[in-house]
Structure 1
Amino acid sequence: MHQTPVRTLLVWVPDWPIAALARERGSTLDAGAPIAIERAGGIVACSAAARASGVRRGQRRRDAQARCPGLRLVSSDEGRDNRGFLPVVDRIERLAPGVQIVRAGIGALRARGPSRYYGGESEAARVLLDELAAIDLTDARVGIADGPFTAEHAARRTRPGPGAEPATRVHAVEPGAAASFLAPLSIRTIDDAELVGLLARLGVQTLGDFAALAEDRVRERFSEHGVRLHRLARGLDARPVTARVPPPEHEREAQFEPPLELVDQVGFAVRITADDFVDALAARGLVCTELRVELRDDRGGRSERVWLHPTTFDAAAVVDRVRWQLEAAVDAELRSGITLVRLEPEAVDAASHHEPGLFGQGPGERVHHALSRVQALLGHRGVVTPAIGGGRWLAERQVLVPWGDRAAPARERSQPWPGSLPAPHPTTVFFPQPEMRVTSADGAAVTVDERGRLSAAPAAIAGTGIHRAVAGWAGPWGVREREWDPERRREAHRVQIVDDTQVAWLLVLEGDTWRAEGRYD
């Protein structure tokens, strides 16, 4: 016996990967720029500016770049998409609990409860859209129908304009009308490329055409998988809406009334809270890899710090971090007294298990303690670690990240950087770049002509304390940036040179000046 489809309310955020990228990058991302998310050489999402230039989901990367030469490509990241969508689901569940995450950017829930509480299905949808608009998701859509499949395509049927009323972002399909709503939709709506291709060759072009086939014939030809898709096309989506299980709450707070004045007092008082915090993680067999410490004073001041660690934190380490954070807060003139300390794990590795050796007993933990202590004395950027970012020039790729912070370079390493140096890269990168002289056998300066060729074969290089004969060379390779901008344009040429001591150099000629960009040690 077939089950009756459940009345479903589905929330859809168009081009969610773009929205997730914007929420992660914040002000560092130009929201008005043409941006596209790329996966396996194809476009999976694009911004409004990119769409206005002719970029479409499903295009090949080269086709998209041909339509929009200024298109910025960002690699797909499912982790980023999923992380960004969880706060959105939390926001929805404030008003209507029981959300099922269909995938990042799409959440479904049973329509019966919210419609009764808010006075109707459309009214409930508008309440949810207002809630999402409060967190800048003004383009969210809602579809209401019998079953998640029809509800999703109802949401995609909405076509609101800029600044449109919430009602235009809601599309409701009346009960029992799912089949007629789906009938004119393309057969490509079904997420099965092999079946869709076969049906198209058989002359089945719409869901209505597919629904008109006899179920027994579909079973004979396409097995039970085909029957399930056939029922979707007929509007008989009997899949239940299964609410997610909210993750356990790991936050801990310590409030002090009256406010405490001394760092040592706070550090001692918060130890019990830290012990309870760590014990709760250990009881679930979890390992904390990221910890947020938030401090508030009685004047409304707030100080926050995120600590990262490859394994976990023990209670003593948590208290030490609170102490160092308090010292930083005092240095920042939050001297009127701390009233609240919050310990919040931002990332928990559920695949790790609770083992005694993971709780701060190794040399790595002692190094972390020592460097964090130095950082507390010298300031946030007093201790930094190197990370690799994106760019065409080696100096641009060097990013220094404060100890304990997440490495998030403004320029993504995974993006295509035409003209960048391929691997292997020099092990020594000069900053600033020292000037060099490159001369031919007759002592004349070597240059690059308009056709990108060296004026003569390099015979010697010279710089501060360096006078070497050239044993071999390769290049030049031109690098051109921002040719459309007369003030910021840059044109240079790279040359690789091996001297007579078998040391390899990467030299750059810009204008009439040679500089050493790196050395292959």
Structure 2
Amino acid sequence: MSTDRRSRVLALWCPDWPAVAAAAAAEIPASSPVAVVSANRVVACSATARAEGVRRGGRRRESQARCPELYVARADPDRDARLFEPVASAVDEVVPGIEVLRPGLLLLSARGAARYFGSEEAAAEQLVDTVAAVGVECQVGIADEVSTAVVAARHGAIVPRGSGAQFLAPLPVAELSAEPSLAAPERVDLVDLLVRLGLRTVGDFGALSPVDVASRFGTDAVLAHRSARGEPERPPSARVLPPDLEVEYRCDPPIDRVDAAAFAGRALAERLHVTLSAAAVACTRLLVQATTANGEHLSRTWRCAEPLTPEGTADRVRWQLDGWLTGRSENKPTAGIVLLRLEPVEVVSAGALQLGLWGGVGDEDERARRALVRVQGLLGGDAVQVGVLSGGRGPGERVTMLPWGDEPVPDADPSAPWPGRLPSPSPSALMPTRPEIAVTDESGVAVQVTERGMFDRVPGRVDWGSRSWVLHGWAGPWAADERWWDLGATSTARQVARAQVLLEDTRALLVLHDGGRWFVEGIYE
């Protein structure tokens, strides 16, 4: 196929979308400095925050020190997808047939838009105005290939036909990993290696021989090399789809709540995965459709760089349903959903998806996951929770409990120093009510912890309710000055200390000293 006849791709990119969505959700001006954090690291920030020195990858405390007015929000893919739906709907009204790569980035065919509006430049201007009418800023890029169009959108450029390689050549090689929805997770490591090898620009990497790249690096590097050379990428699938791959779910009664829709969508994603596995294929482009009780038909296509796993399918279905049911789009349904339908639009061989030893993608894990999803469907979303390692000083603070299926984002960074943190091992059982006890020396005088974080006398006994034990040993204390910077009238600052004490019956307790009193925080069994 000649270059002139190749279909062109238009990418529409909303800069800093997680930060834009966080500001919209908090109802604060878009011009405010905003940072979105995950595990106490900045993953996205607004242009205003960057002007104050906030950077992606920076620590939360450092960012707040650089910009005291910074509004900090937790990363929330559901929020990002829900608030992006009005943008996607507005673009789809103007040019039907969009494909969402992720919240904040979508693709469409430039050919139809250019024909309708007269030129690619006119189409780009019209789409920017359309998105601006929704209250969002965006940039448009047009090129021959998807990855080039996405890079062009970041620069607000329209790349002439056949000039993709020339456009990319002077750009930093980091542009190849700037969009995670188009690259494998190891792309960041590849870019780091290329820089250390002296390949600073995309053109330097593209100048390498394809044979050398294929023999030295992995599959994703070959795809990145093709992108750098402006060579044709994955086209629309010419593979004939096996019959009866689509799955649907009839909702009785109609679904009008996001949690109920998410459970139905997750079960439907499981059924789709089973159907695809039986046909030995995996989905790379998914059409999500819904029909309401009033006969409204909603649909959206999600394009993926890699074959979808059951978890990836469930995430996209949940995001889309959340956007339809609670979004701010003018096309918000006027009645509950009575029919959900998932249809694979593009598939690849199942060999592109890593299979477990006994077939399926982690077959045993899949069975366990389906059981948990079933319990969630019966008891509610918060009924099944899993622990995620978090940051903190006490054992209870180091676990963030999240509903099964949510993104495992801890409340605090577990890799931070956390002075005064309890050393390993952690107690085998935690006491949620923290019963009060008395810790005394051998003569019965209460033991306290000094301002220097030391016992004022040697612990000798523990009295817990009507029982009393002689101590056979102890370790600590580990003192922690928590929220020392909070000096207001409603200050929550406090000085606490933890210690491990060994009872005469060989059991050990984790005890907490707080406000001159002792409490049992955990038990070592």
User: Aligned residue for 2:492?
Assistant: 488
User: Aligned residue for 2:150?
Assistant: 152
Identity level (%): 30
User: Aligned residue for 1:111?
Assistant: 110
Change (3 A) 1:397 1:407: farther
Residues 438 and 460, structure 1, Cα contact 8 Å, conserved in 2? yes
Q: Indicate which of 331, 338, 354 corresponds to 1:342.
A: 338
> What secondary structure is seen at the aligned counterpart in 1 of 2:451?
coil
Change (3 A) 1:415 1:175: same
Change (3 A) 1:475 1:199: closer
Change (3 A) 1:156 1:74: same
State the distance in 2 between where 1:229 and 1:365 align.
Answer: 39
Q: Do residues 508 (structure 1) and 508 (structure 2) align? A: no
Residue type of the partner of 2:469?
Answer: R
> What secondary structure is seen at the aligned counterpart in 2 of 1:456?
coil
Give how far 1:45 is off: 4.3
Q: Do residues 456 (structure 1) and 457 (structure 2) align? A: yes
User: Aligned residue for 2:258?
Assistant: none
State the distance in 1 between where 2:343 and 2:222 align.
Answer: 41
Higher relative contact order (CA 8 A, sep 6+): 2
State the distance in 1 between where 2:233 and 2:87 align.
Answer: 18
Deviations 1:388-412 (CA, angstroms, capped at 9, x unpaired): 365635556778889xx75679954
Q: What TM-score, normalized by structure 2, do the two folds share? A: 0.56
Residue type of the partner of 2:496?
Answer: A
Change (3 A) 1:285 1:51: same
Residues 391 and 413, structure 2, Cα contact 8 Å, conserved in 1? no
- Equivalent positions of 1:319-334 (< 5 A) are none
Give how far 1:444 is off: 2.5
Give how far 1:14 is off: 3.4
Q: Do residues 520 (structure 1) and 519 (structure 2) align? A: no
Q: Do residues 431 (structure 1) and 432 (structure 2) align? A: yes
Residues 102 and 108, structure 1, Cα contact 8 Å, conserved in 2? yes
For these two proteins, the number of residue pairs brought into alignment is: 416
User: Aligned residue for 2:181?
Assistant: none
Residues 441 and 457, structure 2, Cα contact 8 Å, conserved in 1? yes
Change (3 A) 1:283 1:493: closer
Residues 9 and 143, structure 1, Cα contact 8 Å, conserved in 2? yes
- Equivalent positions of 1:50-449 (< 5 A) are 51-57=50-56, 91=89, 95-96=94-95, 106-129=105-128, 138-148=136-146, 150-157=148-155, 170-173=156-159, 185-186=171-172, 189=175, 192-199=191-198, 219=209, 237-240=230-233, 242-243=235-236, 250-253=247-250, 342=338, 344=340, 384-385=383-384, 387-388=386-387, 390=390, 392=392, 393-394=394-395, 412=411, 415-416=414-415, 418=418, 421=422, 423-449=424-450
Deviations 1:462-517 (CA, angstroms, capped at 9, x unpaired): 12123111111111112333222221222211111111111111111112111111
Change (3 A) 1:460 1:283: closer
State the distance in 2 between where 1:9 and 1:173 align.
Answer: 10
Deviations 1:397-450 (CA, angstroms, capped at 9, x unpaired): 778889xx7567995476556355455432332232221211123433222222
Q: Indicate which of 491, 499, 503 corresponds to 1:499.
A: 503
State the distance in 2 between where 1:416 and 1:109 align.
Answer: 41
Give how far 1:242 is off: 3.0
Q: What TM-score, normalized by structure 1, do the two folds share? A: 0.56
State the distance in 1 between where 2:128 and 2:436 align.
Answer: 59
> What secondary structure is seen at the aligned counterpart in 1 of 2:9?
strand
Residues 101 and 108, structure 1, Cα contact 8 Å, conserved in 2? yes
Residue type of the partner of 2:113?
Answer: P
User: Aligned residue for 1:9?
Assistant: 10
Change (3 A) 1:129 1:365: same
User: Aligned residue for 1:268?
Assistant: none
Change (3 A) 1:152 1:429: same
The alignment's C-alpha RMSD in Å is 6.3
State the distance in 2 between where 1:229 and 1:384 align.
Answer: 43
Structure exhibiting the larger radius of gyration computed from Cα positions: 1
